[in-house]
C-alpha cells in the first residue's frame, strides 16, 4: 500500500508515459507555497503522479492552483476523497461512505468511471456493476449513463483504489490540455 508518513493522498495526476518526473516537478513547485508539507510521488512508465499532504485538506483548491500555474505535463488532476485496498468489499464500503455522506439530497444520479493499473481487480466493468447495484439497493444513488449529475471515479493503482465523487459540471476543471500533446516533439540524438 502507498504510504507517506502523516499524509494522505489528495490528488491523482495523470500524464503522458515518460513525463512523470517532469509532471511531479511542476506539481511540487506549483503547490509548495500553498502546502509546505506536500509530497509528490511518481510512478515510472505508468503516467501517474500522486500528491500527498496533511495540511492542505481541500484537493479542489490544489487543482485550481495547478490550473492557475499552467502545468504543461498534466492530463488529469483528480481530487481524492478516499483510498482503500483494491478489494471489492473495501471499495464498495468506501463508495457507500462517500455517497452517503455527500451533502446532497438522496438519491443522487451518478455514473461510475473506473481505470485500473494493476492486476488486483479483475475487471472494472464487474467492479462498477458490483458497486452500482449496492448503491441502488440502499436507495442512496441511481446509476444513469445519460442524465447523470455526479461522477464516481475509481482509480486502481496496484493494490490501492483511489476514490472520488464530484459534480459532472466540475469535470472540465480536472482535465488539462497540455500543448505538447498536440504537437510533434523534437527528436534528441544522443
- Are both 73 and 156 inside the same structural domain? no
Residue 185: pLDDT over 50:
no
Total domain count, the chain:
2
Give phi and psi for 146, each to the nearest 5: -110, -45
Residue 181 inside a domain? The answer is no
Query: How many Å apart are CA 19 and CA 62, to the nearest integer?
Result: 20
Residues above pLDDT 70, as percent of the chain: 90
- Are both 86 and 159 inside the same structural domain? yes
- Are both 31 and 87 inside the same structural domain? no
Q: Is 62 helix (H, G, I), strand (E, B) or coil?
A: helix
| Rounded average pLDDT over 3-13 | 80
Residues above pLDDT 90, as percent of the chain: 74
The predicted-structure confidence for 156-178, as pLDDT tens digits, reads as follows 999 999 999 999 999 999 998 75
- Are both 27 and 66 inside the same structural domain? yes
- Are both 52 and 88 inside the same structural domain? no
Residue 183 inside a domain? The answer is no
| Rounded average pLDDT over 81-93 | 96
Query: pLDDT band at residue 2, thresholds of 50, 70 and 90?
Result: low
Residue 2 inside a domain? The answer is no
Last residue of a domain, one of 80, 102, 132: 80
Residue 70 inside a domain? The answer is yes
Residue 94 inside a domain? The answer is yes
| Rounded average pLDDT over 90-104 | 95
- Are both 94 and 62 inside the same structural domain? no
- Are both 69 and 44 inside the same structural domain? yes
The predicted-structure confidence for 137-157, as pLDDT tens digits, reads as follows 999 999 999 999 999 999 999
In terms of phi and psi (left: phi > 0; alpha: psi -120 to 50; beta: otherwise), the region of 70 is: left
* CATH code, 44: 3.30.70.100
Residue 179 inside a domain? The answer is no
The predicted-structure confidence for 47-80, as pLDDT tens digits, reads as follows 999 999 998 889 999 999 999 998 889 999 999 9
Query: How many Å apart are CA 138 and CA 98, to the nearest integer?
Result: 13
Residue 176: count of CB within 10 angstroms of its CB: 21
The predicted-structure confidence for 107-141, as pLDDT tens digits, reads as follows 999 999 999 988 889 999 999 999 999 999 999 99
DSSP at 169 = G
Residues 111 and 143 sit within 8 Å (Cβ to Cβ): yes
Amino acid at each position: 500500500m502507498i504510504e507517506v508518513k502523516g499524509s494522505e493522498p489528495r490528488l491523482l495526476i495523470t500524464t503522458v508515459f515518460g513525463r512523470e518526473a517532469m509532471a511531479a516537478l511542476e506539481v511540487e513547485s506549483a503547490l509548495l507555497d500553498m502546502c509546505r508539507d506536500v509530497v509528490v510521488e511518481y510512478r515510472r512508465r505508468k503516467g501517474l503522479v500522486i500528491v500527498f499532504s496533511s495540511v492542505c485538506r481541500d484537493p479542489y483548491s490544489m487543482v485550481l492552483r495547478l490550473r492557475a500555474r499552467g502545468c504543461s505535463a498534466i492530463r488529469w488532476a483528480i481530487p481524492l476523497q478516499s483510498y482503500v485496498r483494491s478489494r471489492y468489499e473495501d471499495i464498495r464500503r468506501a463508495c457507500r461512505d462517500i455517497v452517503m455522506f455527500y451533502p446532497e439530497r438522496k438519491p443522487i444520479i451518478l455514473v461510475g468511471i473506473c481505470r485500473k493499473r494493476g492486476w488486483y481487480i479483475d475487471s472494472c466493468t464487474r467492479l462498477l456493476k458490483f458497486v452500482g447495484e449496492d448503491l441502488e439497493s440502499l436507495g442512496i444513488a441511481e446509476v444513469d449513463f445519460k442524465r447523470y449529475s455526479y461522477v464516481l471515479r475509481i482509480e486502481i493503482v496496484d493494490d490501492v483504489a483511489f476514490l472520488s465523487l464530484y459534480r459532472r459540471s466540475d469535470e472540465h476543471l480536472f482535465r488539462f490540455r497540455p500543448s505538447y500533446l498536440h504537437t510533434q516533439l523534437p527528436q534528441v540524438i544522443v
